[in-house]
Amino acid sequence: MNSVNLTSFWNELPTPFFALAPMEDVTDTVFRELVLSVSDPDKLHVLFTEFTSVDGLCHPKGRDAVIHRLKVNDSERQLAKQKNVKLIAQIWGNNPEKFYQASRYISENFSFDGIDINMGCPVAKIVKQGSCSALIGQNSLVSDIIHATREGSGLPVSVKTRTGIKEHNTHSWISHLLNCRVSAITLHARTQRMMSEKPAEWDQVGVAAELRNQINPQIKIIGNGDVDSHENGLDLMARHQADGAMVGRGIFSNPFFFSEEKERDISQKLSLLEFHITRFAETWGSARNFSILKRFFKIYVNGFEGAAALRARLMETNDALTAISAISDFRRTVTHEFTGIT
């Protein structure tokens, strides 16, 4: 097995930097490529997969049910290389031996730049399993998990977590993680109980950054929560000493989040939606339910006359061809709105 990467790509990233958050049924290879395709160089630096169960990866039959979460299309990989964006596999569970086996499997079968451990998901059914945010404060177990992941893969290991369970426990919890030889810590500035319902409290990111300065200045601190624009992210990082900012729900209000060009016309939005639908169909076929795409329609179809009607029609579609046809029909009815379209 490869030796531990004490010096890794994390140390070579510019400061400040931006990352796109791992999101269930969102950040598959298709959506990551889409975001990359409309991102300016040096605006986006790190991408994460959907979170993947180590139990699933370690089970001969269970692996088939989760392996798609680690898929990286060649077109995404080429674009990421071109724009110098790093790809990270995120995994979750609570058994150190399975973290070892899963991380070893990932390193031997994929080409990721690092592995991230989810210690922050607040969803009840996951927490009841003793995983993700349930690991907060389980110091001995967490140390074993991080060690096992590092030994299994030889890749840089990072952790995404929250400030506590019912209340902020940032000082003791982050202090422990900083002593576990991780390369980076993403701190969602909310407790598990806060879910995503209350405003993120970025002062806790500042607490983590100050601890990092004292314990291990090489470790990157990434703040997460309520980053609603590129400018907002830069401001939050500056005020709270964070090295990076992770963008989650902000991408849903603006898929061009990482682009200098702020205003996009209707044609550009619809072209991006067509790209998403087409690439999704090419990548997954019948392996993933088309209805997954429906959560994305409002991202592209909003802010222009006729958007509500088009969105309603799209929500009734059940396959790529029908959805593309609906967009084409809409384009034909409003050709006067599109420069160059006849």
**Contact (Cβ atoms closer than 8 angstroms) between residue 219 and residue 174:** no
- Between helix 74-82 and helix 29-37 the angle, nearest 10°, is 40
CA within 13 Å, CB half, 8: 24
**Contact (Cβ atoms closer than 8 angstroms) between residue 165 and residue 14:** no
DSSP 97-113: HHHHHHHHHHHHH---S
Confirm whether 58 is a catalytic residue: no
Q: What distance in Å separates the CA atoms of residue 198 and residue 226, rounded to the nearest whole number?
A: 10
Q: Residues 58, 121, 132, 180: which is the catalytic one?
A: 121
Q: Computed from CA positions of residues 75, 77, 80, 84, in that sequence, does the dihedral angle turn out positive or negative?
A: negative
Strand ranges (E), the chain: 17-20, 46-48, 52-53, 86-92, 114-119, 157-162, 184-188, 220-224, 244-247
Neighbours of 98 (CB within 10 A): 21
Q: What distance in Å separates the CA atoms of residue 265 and residue 339, rounded to the nearest whole number?
A: 10
- Beta-strand pair 46-48/86-92: parallel
Residue 114 three-state SS: strand
Enzyme catalytic residues: 121
